[in-house]
């Protein structure tokens, strides 16, 4: 990687309005051609069901399937043959994910708004959830854990996993092993937009689900957006991103490692560092370029840094926080003297890592926090995946006789004012004689 190969270097305050807009805008992951292609696939699966899925496997995955569902014996065999060290690490990750998400379980509430009037809200686990596991440029068994384990903690009735088949007709052994370890109920050799459509609408073999979660490529992301008329999704998602805020206490090499770790995900990954002072910014940029030159996934890393990489200096931490809020990163690493003190300054992001020792890699795999997170600035409105995504809420109301009599006239007045005269009559029927 040649010097100056980062897309943006210099001072944050010196960025032109156009360059700042480009840096903030990460919404262009799914172009019109992708959306059109996905629309065709979704319509085809809705129309033809399993036949379309089998044909798509041949066309897109070069796999000739005799069955869409993977027998449990195959995924249990994958778990049994897993490298013992990998299995140990996955089991540790699953335990931590379960523990973190068990603490998030919601509780029913009741409140008496007036004497004799009770309003309650009860969390009910979803009946069936679909977890998508990528299988293209990279395979992520950890993402299977991030979807299946919280769903199981929530008490979801059935959890299915869909992942693209390889040439032999099966998802990767790692994904199959993770599905077995996490406690999935069914696994299907299905990938891309076809898998999303199948889970959203159901086919002869694939059951319709209540919510679809899990990361994927641009086709998966576009498909999830196109099926929201039929199913809930976790959040629109795009390529990985990180924003590091660093002061003079930070090690430039550590900041560079974190940026490289995200850059290797995807050529469209976005990696930005805000450094207090030009000297630190120069040191971080130099460290990033050295690390990129020796990266094993060098082509992916250099493309990401060239197109969406930035190391920018700020005069103080106070100058950094407004940009952090605007950027709303998927991952925010606060590498400062007292990161905990700065946590209160953060509102819009997927997840926060406090201190350079809290590597994003730890959160991706092992801390127990969920790594399925909003990207492209959607941290303004969306949260990361949690156990709460696997519930729907039932509200209820109780009204005793005296309370009904007290409500009757005021409700009747409001209903009359809106021209809903049957509502008014229903309310006033409870007035005391």
Query: Tens of pLDDT along 225-280?
Result: 999 999 999 988 888 999 999 999 999 999 999 999 999 998 999 999 999 999 99
pLDDT band at 140 (very low <50, low <70, confident <90, very high): confident
- HEC profile of the chain: CCCCCCCEEEEHHHCCHHHHHHHHCCCCCCCHHHHHHHHHHHHHHHHHCHHHHHHHHHHHHCCCCCCCECCHHHHHHHHHCCCHHHHHHHHHHHHHHHHHHHCCCCCCEEEEEECCEEEEEEEEECCEEEEECCECCCECHHHHHHHHHHHHHHCCCEEEEEECCCCCCCCCHHHHHHHHHHCCCEEEECCHHHHHHHHHHCCCCCCCCCEEECCCCHHHHHHHHHCCCCCEECCCCCCCEEEEEECCCCCHHHHHHHHHHHHCCCCCCEEEEEEECHHHHHHHHHHHHHHHHCCCCHHHHHHHHHHHEEEEEECCHHHHHHHHHHHCCCEEEEECCCHHHHHHHCCCCCEEEECCCCCHHHHHHCCCCCCCCCCCCHHHCCCCCCHHHHEEEEEEEEECHHHHHHHHHHHHHHHHHCCCHHHHHHHHCCCCC
pTM of the model: 0.92
The CA-CA-CA angle for residues 184, 129, 206, to 5°, reads 80
pLDDT at 70: 97
User: Residue 204 burial (CB < 10 Å; 0-12/13-18/19+)?
Assistant: exposed
**Contact of 199 with 79, CB cutoff 8 Å:** no
* Residue 330 annotated as catalytic: yes
Q: Is the pLDDT confidence value at 385 over 60?
A: yes
pLDDT at 346: 92
Q: What is the mean pLDDT of residues 169-189?
A: 96
Q: What is the mean pLDDT of residues 42-63?
A: 95
Q: Is the pLDDT confidence value at 291 over 50?
A: yes
| Cβ neighbours for 320, distance < 8 A, ≥ 6 positions apart | 12, 245, 274, 276, 314
- Which residue among the candidates 241, 264, 265, 331 is catalytic per the annotation? 331
pLDDT band at 217 (very low <50, low <70, confident <90, very high): confident
Centre a 10 Å sphere on the Cβ of residue 72 and count the other Cβ atoms it contains. 15
pLDDT at 104: 96
Average pLDDT in the chain: 94
Q: Is the pLDDT confidence value at 117 over 90?
A: yes
pLDDT at 155: 98
Q: What is the mean pLDDT of residues 146-170?
A: 96
pLDDT at 18: 93
- Which residue among the candidates 289, 330, 356, 371 is catalytic per the annotation? 330
pLDDT at 99: 98
Domains for the chain: give ranges and CATH numbers.
8-28+238-368 (3.40.50.1980), 32-233 (3.40.50.1980)
pLDDT at 3: 44
pLDDT band at 139 (very low <50, low <70, confident <90, very high): confident
pLDDT at 2: 42
More confident residue, 30 or 152: 152
pLDDT at 4: 54
pLDDT band at 27 (very low <50, low <70, confident <90, very high): confident
* Residue 319 annotated as catalytic: no
Q: Is the pLDDT confidence value at 322 over 60?
A: yes
């Amino acid at each position: 990687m040649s010097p100056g190969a980062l897309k943006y270097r210099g001072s944050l305050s010196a960025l032109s309005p156009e360059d700042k807009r480009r840096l903030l805008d990460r919404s262009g992951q799914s172009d019109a051609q992708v959306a059109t292609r996905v629309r065709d696939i979704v319509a085809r699966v809705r129309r033809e069901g399993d036949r379309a899925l089998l044909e798509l496997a041949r066309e897109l995955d070069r796999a000739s399937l005799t069955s869409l569902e993977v027998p449990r014996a195959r995924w249990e065999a994958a778990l049994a043959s897993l490298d013992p060290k990998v299995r140990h690490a996955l089991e540790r990750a699953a335990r931590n994910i379960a523990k973190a998400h068990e603490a998030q379980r919601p509780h029913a509430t009741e409140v008496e708004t007036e004497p004799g009037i009770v309003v309650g809200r009860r969390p009910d686990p979803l009946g069936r959830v679909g977890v998508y596991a990528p299988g293209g440029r990279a395979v992520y068994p950890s993402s299977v854990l991030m979807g299946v384990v919280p769903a199981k903690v929530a008490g979801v009735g059935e959890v299915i996993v869909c992942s693209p088949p390889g040439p032999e007709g099966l998802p990767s052994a790692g994904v199959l092993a993770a599905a077995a370890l996490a406690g999935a109920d069914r696994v299907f050799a299905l990938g891309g937009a076809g898998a999303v459509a199948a889970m959203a609408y159901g086919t002869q073999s694939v059951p319709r689900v209540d919510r679809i979660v899990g990361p994927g490529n641009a086709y998966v992301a576009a498909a999830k957006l196109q099926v929201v008329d039929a199913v809930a999704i976790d959040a629109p998602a795009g390529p990985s991103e990180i924003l590091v805020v660093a002061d003079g206490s930070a090690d430039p090499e550590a900041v560079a490692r974190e940026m490289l770790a995200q850059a290797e995900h995807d050529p469209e990954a976005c990696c930005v560092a805000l450094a207090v002072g030009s000297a630190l910014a120069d040191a971080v940029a130099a460290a990033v370029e050295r690390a990129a030159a020796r990266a094993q996934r060098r082509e992916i890393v250099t493309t990401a840094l060239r197109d969406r990489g930035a190391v920018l200096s700020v005069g103080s931490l106070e100058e950094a926080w407004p940009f952090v809020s605007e950027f709303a990163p998927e991952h925010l690493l606060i590498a400062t003297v007292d990161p905990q003190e700065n946590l209160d300054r953060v509102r819009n992001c997927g997840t926060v890592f406090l201190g350079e020792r809290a590597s994003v890699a730890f959160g991706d795999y092992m801390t127990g926090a969920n790594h399925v997170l909003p990207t492209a600035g959607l941290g303004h409105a969306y949260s990361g995946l949690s156990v709460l995504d696997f519930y729907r809420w039932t509200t209820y109301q109780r009204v005793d006789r005296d309370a009904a009599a007290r409500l009757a006239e005021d409700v009747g007045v409001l209903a009359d004012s809106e021209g809903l005269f049957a509502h008014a009559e229903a309310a006033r029927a409870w007035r005391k004689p």
